[in-house]
Amino acid sequence: MNELDALVDSARQGFEQAATPADLENAKAVFLGKSGRITELMKGLASLSIDEKKARGAVINQAKQAIEAALNARRQALADAELDAQLKAEALDVTLAGRQPGQGGLHPVSLTLERIEGIFGSMGFDVAQGPEIESDWFNFTALNTPEDHPARSMHDTFYVEGGTATAPNLLRTHTSPMQIRHAVQHVNAHRALLDAGETMPEIRVIAPGRTYRVDSDATHSPMFHQCEGLWIGANVSFKDLKVVFTDFCRTFFESDDLVLRFRPSFFPFTEPSAEIDIQFQSGPLAGRWLEVAGSGQVHPNVVRNMGLDPEKYIGFAFGMGPDRLTMLRYGVNDLRLFFDGDIRFLSQFQ
């Protein structure tokens, strides 16, 4: 083997041994660098004759090209290896099952509200929504509960700073203010009919929503839900209340032998007034009277505050507790569970 073949050979070996691109660059300097072996050989040409230069130069060039080819091959091999390693390190297992996004669902009380709206909707009731920050007027005074009325003490609530009696100044203690709000809107919408001495279409509405009181134990929460009902017309009686509410309860609890009891009571905005109790004839709650709503014939003062003549318009109202209905329906005994936000509890209703 001549001297140049040996040089090419040792360059190949040197490149082969280089394990990283940096090693390879160092090995390259030995052979192709400014003071590398090839450069040295080229310098040696200076002392030769023209013909010798040509012949010797050509073979040195061949050797140089062979070394460069070996260098490039090794460069490519190292780059391939690096890419391979990177692909392995960052490997994605596309056959792995994806992460399922959790399936959300409705809160049990929302399920009850939907149910209530569906049942009353089928009986021709509209659904109205009203503000949770309410004025003294709508929450109390318009509902025949003037300032200093003792019934106000049962509705201790949270007051908003800077409010006045007619601007929103408290968190509503019940959904009953919606009786006035909705009726006034209805009356205004039919003003022309009323002014012409004609009879306006009946008011038939439910108003579900959040309500607030200073109250907290296993069956009371400072925030709770109510659903108001109101039916006003020229000839709406307590009998209609009994029919509507009995129908509602039997449909809601899917039980035909459910019994209702209208127990005399007092509310400033109804006269006469009644608490509505229900009794299941079978199942775990059988035989007990369970209070589910307050109700009554709308008081003439309240009818007047709706903008109607109590001599011509009459009707009934009720206010029930969807939280209570939810507890009874699912057999939950602590109201607070509904509002703790524990997903283990809530997911049982999906």
Q: Give the binding site for ligand DAH (CB under 6 A).
A: 174, 176, 228, 267, 270, 273, 294-296, 317-319
* Minimum distance of ligand DAH from residue 270's CB (angstroms): 4
Judged by beta carbon, residue 28 or residue 174, the one nearer ligand DAH is 174
* Minimum distance of ligand DAH from residue 320's CB (angstroms): 8
Identify whether the C-beta of residue 107 lies closer than 8 Å to the C-beta of residue 338. Answer: yes
Judged by beta carbon, residue 251 or residue 295, the one nearer ligand DAH is 295
**What is the Cα–Cα distance from 135 to 145, expressed in whole angstroms?**
13
Task: List Cβ<8 Å contacts ≥24 apart for 154-158.
Answer: 155/213, 156/213, 156/214, 156/215, 157/212, 157/213, 157/214, 158/212, 158/214, 158/222
* Minimum distance of ligand DAH from residue 252's CB (angstroms): 17
Q: How many CB atoms lie within 10 A of CB 331?
A: 9
* Minimum distance of ligand DAH from residue 333's CB (angstroms): 22
Which of 134, 152, 155 is closest to 214 using CA atoms? 155
* Minimum distance of ligand DAH from residue 124's CB (angstroms): 18
* Minimum distance of ligand DAH from residue 257's CB (angstroms): 26
Which two three-digit tokens encode residue 182?
């909705």
**What is the Cα–Cα distance from 44 to 3, expressed in whole angstroms?**
14
Judged by beta carbon, residue 112 or residue 295, the one nearer ligand DAH is 295
Judged by beta carbon, residue 9 or residue 240, the one nearer ligand DAH is 240
* Minimum distance of ligand DAH from residue 308's CB (angstroms): 16
Judged by beta carbon, residue 70 or residue 249, the one nearer ligand DAH is 249
What 3 state SS string does 144-194 have? CCCCCCHHHHHHCCCECCCCCCCCEEEECCCCCHHHHHHHHHHHHHCHHHH
Judged by beta carbon, residue 141 or residue 273, the one nearer ligand DAH is 273
Judged by beta carbon, residue 87 or residue 214, the one nearer ligand DAH is 214
Identify whether the C-beta of residue 339 lies closer than 8 Å to the C-beta of residue 322. Answer: no
**What is the Cα–Cα distance from 127 to 227, expressed in whole angstroms?**
10
Helix (H), strand (E) counts: the chain: 12, 9
Task: Look at phi and psi of residue 6 and say left if phi exceeds 0, alpha if psi is from -120 to 50, else beta.
Answer: alpha
* Minimum distance of ligand DAH from residue 296's CB (angstroms): 4
**What is the Cα–Cα distance from 185 to 101, expressed in whole angstroms?**
44
Judged by beta carbon, residue 9 or residue 271, the one nearer ligand DAH is 271
